[in-house]
């Protein structure tokens, strides 16, 4: 697809306008995002992406439209994996709920700029060295295998570690450990300090670089058009903030997500290798965009269904185990008598005094004593009563 500089400028201006509208309508005032608001904005960004893909079909060609939709769905599915890390980062820095939306907005913008640099560099390398597809394909296949190994190991990252860039920033710039609204810098005792708000924004933006290392080669496996690569990434990332609030609590239910993503990355890796062989003059079949789009959608649907079924099964098993544990735990009155009898009344209800009388006061907490007080010669009928000898002593 031949894209002029004018179209590039108009696209960037249009995306900037959409981001500005999103900010001034939904993100300007710090507040706790409701599910309704998150669902509405998630739908808006998906509809905008669909309209953009339709525009490519009407004013471009079917090939460009298909590549955009395949790239957008791939980037959207891969970006869901980012949300796990975003949750850890929010917990690490103890970001108040009302400020999380602002953090994600700025963090995602930083990530989009960095991805734009990655895309420009990748497009330049691909246009010069066609053999780089072998590297991209091999890397994606290796990443897919790594994802499977991690999923089979059933290891969950409970903590997030700061990267070297953040550690360098915190060493070189003094900071405070308290949030001051949405301020990035504050002045205390005549000294300018960086707030945790800026640090966590940088954390969100720079951490996305790790995810871009596999997502950028993945989308270049679907299309080599930098315009489509950039716009697909932009629409996928800009809806990520609302998706965080919409499905943040449901992420743990997607237990098979790593398997699904590994299949997608492995499939695109094979597609890249086949494309590289074809470019080298080897007669091998190439995977078309419609087939790629169908495989990606099918994998995501199957992954979602199996994840929900497996999650429901785990919850049912956990509930049954909890019920069995509760049934196995004896109650206060269900202990057996020391003699091994089955009397449910227990020890207290069957104990008899020396004179053959039933210890009726045992259940009220009053103990009966027939012992003689050898020190003062005063007999006690009840340990709760006080005699003159007690007072004198």
Average pLDDT, integer, range 212-237: 89
Residue 297 included in any domain: no
**pLDDT reported for residue 391:** 34
> What are the CB-based long-range contacts (under 8 Å, 24+) for 194-199?
194/169, 196/93, 196/95, 197/99, 197/102, 197/103, 199/93, 199/166, 199/169, 199/170, 199/175
- Look at residue 373 in the predicted model and tell me its pLDDT: 38
Is the confidence at residue 379, as pLDDT, over 70?
Answer: no
Instruction: Tell me the pLDDT tens digit for each residue of 320-369.
Output: 888 887 777 755 444 444 444 444 444 444 433 444 444 334 344 433 33
pLDDT reported for residue 228:
94
344 assigned to some structural domain: no
Q: How many domains does the chain have?
A: 1
The structure tokens listed for 119 are 């895309």
Q: What is the pLDDT of residues 48-72, one digit of tens each?
A: 999 999 999 998 889 999 999 999 9
pTM of the model: 0.69
* Average pLDDT taken over every residue of the chain: 77
Per-residue pLDDT, 289: 82
Q: Which residue has the higher pLDDT, 84 or 345?
A: 84
Instruction: Please check whether residue 319 lies inside any domain of the structure.
Output: no
Mean pLDDT for the stretch of residues 263-280: 87
Separation of alpha carbons 28 and 351, rounded Å: 74
Percent over 90 (pLDDT), the chain:
14
302 within some domain: no
pLDDT tier at 175 (50, 70, 90 boundaries)? confident
Judge whether 272 lies within some domain: no
Q: Does residue 322 lie within any of the structural domains?
A: no
CB within 8 Å of 147: residues ≥ 6 apart: 258, 259, 261, 262, 265
Q: How does pLDDT run across 115-137, given as a tens digit for each residue?
A: 889 898 888 888 888 788 888 88
Residue 42's domain comprises 11-130+157-250
261 is a domain residue: no
For range 153-163, the mean pLDDT: 58
> Is residue 49, in this structure, part of any structural domain at all?
yes
């Amino acid at each position: 697809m031949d894209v002029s500089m004018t179209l590039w400028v108009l696209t960037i201006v249009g995306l900037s306008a959409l981001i500005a509208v999103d900010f001034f309508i939904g993100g300007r005032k710090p507040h706790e995002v409701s599910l309704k608001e998150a669902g509405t904005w998630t739908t808006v960004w998906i509809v905008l992406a669909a309209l953009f893909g339709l525009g490519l079909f009407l004013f471009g060609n079917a090939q460009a439209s298909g590549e955009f939709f395949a790239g957008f769905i791939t980037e959207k599915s891969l970006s869901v994996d980012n949300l796990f890390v975003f949750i850890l980062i929010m917990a690490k820095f103890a970001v108040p709920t009302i400020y999380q939306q602002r953090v994600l907005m700025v963090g995602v913008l930083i990530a989009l700029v960095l991805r734009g640099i990655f895309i420009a560099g990748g497009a330049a390398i691909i246009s010069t060295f066609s053999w780089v597809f072998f590297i991209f394909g091999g890397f994606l296949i290796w990443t897919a295998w790594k994802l499977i190994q991690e999923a089979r190991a059933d290891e969950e990252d409970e903590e997030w570690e700061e990267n070297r860039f953040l550690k360098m920033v915190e060493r070189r710039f003094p900071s405070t450990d308290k949030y001051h609204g949405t301020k990035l810098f504050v002045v205390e005792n005549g000294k300018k300090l960086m707030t945790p708000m800026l640090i966590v924004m940088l954390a969100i933006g720079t951490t996305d670089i790790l995810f871009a290392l596999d997502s950028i080669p993945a989308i270049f496996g679907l299309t080599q058009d930098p315009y489509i690569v950039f716009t697909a990434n932009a629409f996928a990332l800009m809806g990520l903030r609302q998706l965080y609030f919409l499905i943040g609590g449901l992420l743990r239910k997607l237990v098979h997500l790593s398997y699904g993503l590994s299949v997608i990355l492995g499939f695109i890796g094979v597609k890249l290798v086949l494309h590289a062989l074809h470019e080298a003059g080897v007669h091998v079949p190439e995977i078309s965009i419609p087939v790629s789009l169908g495989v990606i959608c099918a994998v995501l649907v199957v992954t979602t269904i199996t994840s929900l079924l497996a999650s429901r099964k785990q919850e049912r098993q956990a509930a049954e185990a909890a019920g069995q544990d509760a049934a196995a735990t004896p109650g206060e009155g269900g202990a057996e008598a020391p003699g091994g009898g089955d009397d449910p009344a227990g020890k207290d209800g069957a104990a008899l005094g020396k004179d053959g009388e039933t210890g009726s006061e045992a259940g009220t907490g009053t103990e009966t004593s027939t012992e003689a007080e050898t020190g003062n010669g005063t007999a006690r009928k009840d340990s709760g009563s006080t005699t003159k000898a007690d007072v004198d002593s």
